[in-house]
Structure 1
């Protein structure tokens, strides 16, 4: 996106934090699943979980 060069770091940081918040919410609701159990998706989340 060349038209957004002054805000490039801000957009990347906001997208990264938003994706990490979504990933943490999905990971939390699938490790404490009492609503909708989805075993393949839970296995994918557990196998690709971040170590930090």
Structure 2
């Protein structure tokens, strides 16, 4: 029935919008974030070079 076509398009739009949001949320939270304290410590350790010429 052609009268029901707008509802089908709306439901498809909502479905794909939810799948897109779900995909982005899962990608965002799948990475392990480092704490600021740990990242500063590793940065300081990497920056200290002792050159012996």
Quote the residue 1:23 is aligned against: 20
Alignment partners' CA distance in 2, 1:31 and 1:15: 24
Q: 1:10 aligns with which of 7, 10, 20?
A: 7
For CA contacts below 8 A with separation 6 or more, give which structure has more relative contact order: 1
Query: Which portions of structure 1, spanning 4 or more consecutive aligned residues, are displaced by more than 2 angstroms?
Result: none
- RMSD of Structure 2 on Structure 1 (CA): 1.1
Q: Which runs of 5+ in 1 are unaligned?
A: 35-52
- What is the alpha-carbon distance in structure 1 between the residues aligned to residue 30 and residue 17 of structure 2? 19
What's the CA shift string for 1:10-52, capped at 9, x where partnerless?
0000000000000000000001115xxxxxxxxxxxxxxxxxx
Larger radius of gyration: 2
Aligned pairs, how many? 31
